[in-house]
Every structure is written in C-alpha cells, then in structure tokens.
Structure 1
Amino acid sequence: MAWVLKKGALLLICGALLFTGSAMLIQQARVAFFDGGESEQTRPAPLNVTLLHGQTSDLQGAFPVDSVDNYTIERGGKDAFSLLLAHYKDDQNQQRRAVLFPKGKQEARALPSPTGLRQAIWQDAAKAISENTPKDALILSWWDDGQRIHFLGGRDAWVSKPSSQTFISPIWKQLQGNLLLASDSERGQLSSMARWLTMDSEKALAEMRQMFGSSRPIYLLVTNDLLMRLGEMVDYGGTSLAFSSKAVPAHDNLHGDIAQIKQWAYEEGSGNYLVQKEGLNYHVWTTPKGSVTENKSLLVRLLPFVDSLKKLPEGVHLVYQSHWGGHLSVYRLDL
C-alpha cells in the first residue's frame, strides 16, 4: 500500500470495501471486547478471564519488551477474544503499556480470527507510520490505538492512557490493575479526543488548530472499531451518535448482495453506509435518516462511509489506509 494516496483513489477504496471486504468477525469482537458499545457498556456480562502474568514473548516493536500479560476471555465456555498487554520502557526509561492483539492459531480453511486480523493490520500500519512520518510527528487517536502507535510505530501519541470511565466495560475492568492510568491533564486530553471525534468535523478541526498550531506535524488515526467505542467516548464527554447496523448474509451473487445492502441503508437510514465483511456475512452501519450530527461528525467523515469517501474535510489528507476493508486509516492534518 503506497503511503500517499492519490485523490482519485478514494472512490476506489469504496469499491474495494464492498467487493473484497475484510473477513472481520465483528459480532464476535463486539460482544467479547467492546461489549456492545454505546450506553450498553453498563450491561452485566457473563465473562471468564484467564490471565497469565509475565509471559515471555517474541513481540516485535519499536522498544524492547520487559514482559507480556496474556488475557483470554471466555463467554459461554468458549474462547471469544484474546489480548496481550506489553510492559516496556520508552526512550526516557519511563514505564509504558500497550494493548496488542495476538496472532492466533490459523487452521487450514478456517476464517481468520478477529485478533489475528487486527494484529496483521497494525503491523502493516506501524511499518508505514515508522517509515513515512517525521520522527517528531504527533498522532491523535483513541487511547489504546495510541498505545499501539507508540509501541509498534515508535511515534508519539497524544492520548495513550485510560481513565476511570473506560473501566465501566467489564473487559477493560479486567485489565485495570495492569494498565497505567491517565493523570488529570491526560484525562483532559481523553475528553478532548472524545469530543473531537464525535462533534462537527469543521468545529473539531478548528479546535485542533487552536490547540496544536504548527509546532509539529500532526496526524490522526482512526479504525472502524471506534464505532463500537461510542459509549466510552460519551462517558468522556463526547456527543452521542446513533447508527443502525445489520448483518447481511453473503451470497454468490455479489451484485445482488450490494443491491440489498444499499436498499437497506436507504430504507433504514440516510443511505450513507459503511460495510465490512465478517466471515459469511457483511456487517453494515448506516447513519439515520435526516442525519446532521452523525454525517457531519469527524468520525463519520474519516471512516470509510460511502459519502465520506467522496470529499474529505478541508485540510485533511488521507496518507495511509489498510486493506481488509479500509479498517485503519491515517490522515495528515494541515493545521
């Protein structure tokens, strides 16, 4: 994937999103890791988490790893998700943490695991970031993405630590004792990031310009997983965004599948939709009919919704987008 994408390639990405998909097992990830997003964070969930402390690892990152915690999450007696928590020190010898995705065991003819796909996506993105951004670049993202940016890509992330609102989720609560928590000032940065992602894109970019100016190169990283983190963002002061979502079975007739997806998106919502392939299904999100808040939000403008791909906000340049349905995107901001 070339680092700099030509403007005309944006619409081709939309086609790739529909035609190739990502095989992401989104429903499994939603239930196990993000726990449904939005206000359902508070819903009790029958979970069994197994933790192996201090396991040795061959993790490859920008910094040596001191130790790795391995979390296996089970639901209903079945493995639902796995996470790694890397302990390491940065260039100033300060303790750091990074939530990572294990490769997972890939059996012949089996669908890729959600963690294995994310691991591959992040390895490719980190390589592009480390090779194609200035060393003094500052990358804006949600907090756990910020951890991966720093550990895997070796670049500074503006937000990389959670605060108390994150631990409403039963999954994150299991990791709370081993994560480093945000200070008061870092808590304010979390709140700003939550507001920017969920507010009107032009207003968000104006606030970013006022905050950062031209002191250093600024980038912004988003992933489709943020659609399942909206409740957490609301808890940090973000705007509540509403989406309809549906799983559509995949058939041999691709054109028929696309027509069905478009019809549902226009009947259920505004017709502005995002598609990812999840195994034998497409998972589709659409913004509400008559939507202004959602369609103008920075998050929707930067994720691969079909309308968003036609025109980015002024001063925002797409410089990297992963394959597997455009799951991860990196933008350069002209501030």
Structure 2
Amino acid sequence: MSVANKAIPSLSGVYKAPLLIGSILITGGLSLLIWLGWSLLHPTSSEGAPYQYQKVAEGKIEDFSDLEDLKNYENLGISILKYELTAEKVQKTPLAEFYTGTRDKKDSPVLLLWKNNLREPIITITSGAKDLNDLAQAVIQHVPKTGMVLSWWDTSRRLNLLTDITTLFHTNNIAEPIIIPGPWTNQSKGIRKFENEFWQVSDSNKERKQLGDLVDAFLADETTGVSMLRSFTKNKDVYIVVHYSDIYKIGVMEPNRLGIGFKDFPNQGQTHALIPHVKEWVEKNGYTSYLVERLDKDVIRAYFLTDNSSKDTLIAKMLPFNSSNPARLQELRLLAQYGGYWVYSLPMDSNK
C-alpha cells in the first residue's frame, strides 16, 4: 500500500511523498523489501542521485516492441531512446525502463512510456502505450485544428509530439512531481538536480505557475474549478484530459489538500470479480471512495481517497470513483474513456 503524504520540501517548495510500504504482492516486492533492509544498514550520502539513467538502445518507434501500439506515428520521424534506471547498490537489474521521443534533436525529450520493475512507483507513472495511442488517435480524429487540450504537463507533451494539437504545456518538461521512494528521501536535492538536468527542465516561472494554477483548479469544487480551467484560454474548442495517475501525482504535490493512496491486488480473473474484495479492504481500513485500474494481467490497482473533502474536488469527480459520476457533471461534458484517460469538453461560459 502506498499513501501520498507530506514528507520533505523540494527546492521549489513543493512537498514530495515518501512511499509507505504496507504489503508487496507480486514481482518486485522481494527486491524492494531487500532494498529497504539494505538502506537501514547502509545510510546513503545526501549528495547526488543514488541512481543513473543508462541509454541502452536508440532507433525509431518500429524498432521497439514496447512501443508497438504507437505504430500509427512511425511516419512522423520520431527518434526514440531507451533508458534503464539502474542502482547497483539496490539490485543489478534495472529498477525501471523508459522511452523518450523527439522530432528534433534540439527539443527536450518527451517521456513516452515508463515501466516500473518494482510495484511501488519510482520517479513517475505513465499510462501504457495502447491507452496513449487510443487517446492520440481520438484527438487527431475529433479535435479541430483550432482546438486546445488541457491536461497534466506530461500528457500534454506526449499529445503535442504525436498529434501537433495545441496543448497547455508543449515546449518544456516540468518534472513535477518526482516520486521518491522512502530510502532515498534524504537525497531529494541531488535527485531533483539530476532529474532537472536530464529532462532539460527550464527555469520558466510561467509554466510552473500554470501547473500550480492547474492543480488549484483540479482541487477546487466543480463550479470553481471549471471556471479556473476556462481562464487558461479563450479558445472555444477546449478539451480536458485526466488520467488515473494524475490524481495520485496531485496528492504527492499537495498532500495537505488531497488525501489519496493506492493498494495493488493480484488479478486472479475478471476485474469485476475482484471488486467485492477491494470494497471490503477499503471499508475495513476506514475509507469510502475508491476506483479500480487494471495495470496488467497480474495486477489490479485500487486508488482510494482518505478523507471526505477529497471526494468533493473536481479531479475526483472527473474520475470513476465509486463516490463520483463523471457522466453527470454539471459543468463538463464527458466525451470518452480510453483506458485510464477520461476526456471532457469544456463548454463556453454561458454568461459571456
């Protein structure tokens, strides 16, 4: 189980959440427990990052089986680099693998896919390639050239790379939040420096403010939040995209304003057959609101909200928690779902 809560301040004043390890269910769990035990006996230095990114391959989309679902974009000439996150003091095999893409070598890299080899998130979370393809294809087919998509900064950059649609964040990486495992919290300064350099994070106060404003909108009530979303653009064709992982990332950034955690369950059959077990666990632990995501054929992830006020936030109402009904939002119109992505249209303010 992992709960996003207040831990240590980052250089930018945003709080990062340590991962509270309750139970590790499947592959990767043993390694993580060994890691936790090792870290207690071998304190690490607070200087530098305790891991590195090693480039292991480069090519085009068609050269990587993990990106097979993105074959629709092979003609865009996107250059792909594959990296491994290694920390030999933890284990010899990679803790994570990821793919970046660019159309021009001068551009900062766009994270297309991040694969955690541990069940606890490390550094970040992304959707799978299939969900990303389905979302991007829908954008290409249904969003007019004059339209605009509002979404989390990393989703924005992926859509901009694959579709050329106008997005709120399209030029620079922001690298927020960085999900730092508990054993590494005393090295957060070095980790942030390393991540900022690798992702070529700019010093743009404008984009950081925009991200902060987006977080404020998602954490407001529905009416206030939608009004804040409208303030981002005067465009008449505006679409909002949210992903299951977005609400967890917001919880990592703002643990005092949004209480959220998750627990992974072994997938032993149909997802709906596991729902009663998830519901029983949620209620037993004093929570009331949850949603279920199938990560892969082996794992079901249940995100749960830890307090009643979190249920009233716009982001919670836009996602299929058992306490929400996305189809009945008064201020937004639900258009489609693509895996963990939920897509809405943002009507113009009728008072203007």
TM-score (norm 1): 0.69
Stretches of 4+ aligned residues off by more than 6 angstroms: 114-117, 253-256
Contact 2:263/2:301 (8 A) holds in 1:
yes
Compare relative contact order (CA 8 Å, sep 6+) and give the higher one, 1 or 2: 1
What SS class does the counterpart of residue 308 from structure 1 fall into?
A: coil
1:176 to 197, 202, 206: 197
Indicate the residue corresponding to 1:153 in structure 2: 163
Alignment pair present for 1:132 and 2:142 = yes
The 3 A distance-change label for structure 1 pair 276 and 318 is same
- For 1:172 and 1:124, the matched residues in 2 are separated by 34
Indicate the residue corresponding to 1:56 in structure 2: 59
Indicate the residue corresponding to 1:200 in structure 2: 221
- For 1:191 and 1:205, the matched residues in 2 are separated by 15
Please say which of residues 305-314 and 60-69 is displaced more in the overlay. 60-69
Contact 1:102/1:119 (8 A) holds in 2:
no
What SS class does the counterpart of residue 103 from structure 2 fall into?
A: strand
Equivalent AA in structure 1 for residue 155 of structure 2 = D
Q: Residues 275-286 of structure 1: matches in 2 within 5 Å?
A: 275-278=292-295, 279-286=297-304
Alignment pair present for 1:219 and 2:223 = no
How far did residue 158 of structure 1 move? 0.4
Q: Structure 2 regions of 5+ residues with no counterpart?
A: 3-14, 20-43, 63-71, 117-123, 181-190
Indicate the residue corresponding to 1:332 in structure 2: 345
Contact 1:63/1:151 (8 A) holds in 2:
no
Indicate the residue corresponding to 1:190 in structure 2: 211
Q: Structure 1 regions of 5+ residues with no counterpart?
A: 1-25, 28-36, 105-113
Equivalent AA in structure 2 for residue 88 of structure 1 = R
1:51-82 CA-partner distances (Å, limit 9, x unpaired): 258x3313654984464332212352223322
Indicate the residue corresponding to 1:313 in structure 2: 329
Q: Residues 76-91 of structure 1: matches in 2 within 5 Å?
A: 76-89=91-104
Aligned residues: 278
Contact 2:84/2:97 (8 A) holds in 1:
yes
TM-score (norm 2): 0.66
Alignment pair present for 1:74 and 2:86 = yes
The 3 A distance-change label for structure 1 pair 173 and 194 is farther
- For 2:141 and 2:174, the matched residues in 1 are separated by 31
The 3 A distance-change label for structure 1 pair 248 and 331 is same
- For 1:79 and 1:125, the matched residues in 2 are separated by 29
- CA-based RMSD of the aligned residues comes to 3.8
2:230 to 209, 222, 226: 209
Alignment pair present for 1:263 and 2:291 = no
How far did residue 130 of structure 1 move? 0.5
The 3 A distance-change label for structure 1 pair 256 and 147 is closer
Indicate the residue corresponding to 1:108 in structure 2: none
What SS class does the counterpart of residue 294 from structure 2 fall into?
A: strand
Contact 1:62/1:153 (8 A) holds in 2:
no
- For 1:283 and 1:102, the matched residues in 2 are separated by 17
Indicate the residue corresponding to 1:109 in structure 2: none
Indicate the residue corresponding to 1:6 in structure 2: none
What SS class does the counterpart of residue 17 from structure 2 fall into?
A: helix
- For 1:182 and 1:172, the matched residues in 2 are separated by 12
Contact 1:38/1:230 (8 A) holds in 2:
no
1:4-35 CA-partner distances (Å, limit 9, x unpaired): xxxxxxxxxxxxxxxxxxxxxx99xxxxxxxx
Indicate the residue corresponding to 2:65 in structure 1: none
Equivalent AA in structure 2 for residue 217 of structure 1 = D
- For 1:162 and 1:219, the matched residues in 2 are separated by 21
What SS class does the counterpart of residue 40 from structure 1 fall into?
A: coil
How far did residue 116 of structure 1 move? 10
Equivalent AA in structure 2 for residue 304 of structure 1 = P
Contact 1:73/1:81 (8 A) holds in 2:
yes
Equivalent AA in structure 2 for residue 79 of structure 1 = P
What SS class does the counterpart of residue 77 from structure 1 fall into?
A: strand
Equivalent AA in structure 1 for residue 324 of structure 2 = S
How far did residue 184 of structure 1 move? 2.6
- For 1:191 and 1:115, the matched residues in 2 are separated by 19
How far did residue 40 of structure 1 move? 2.2
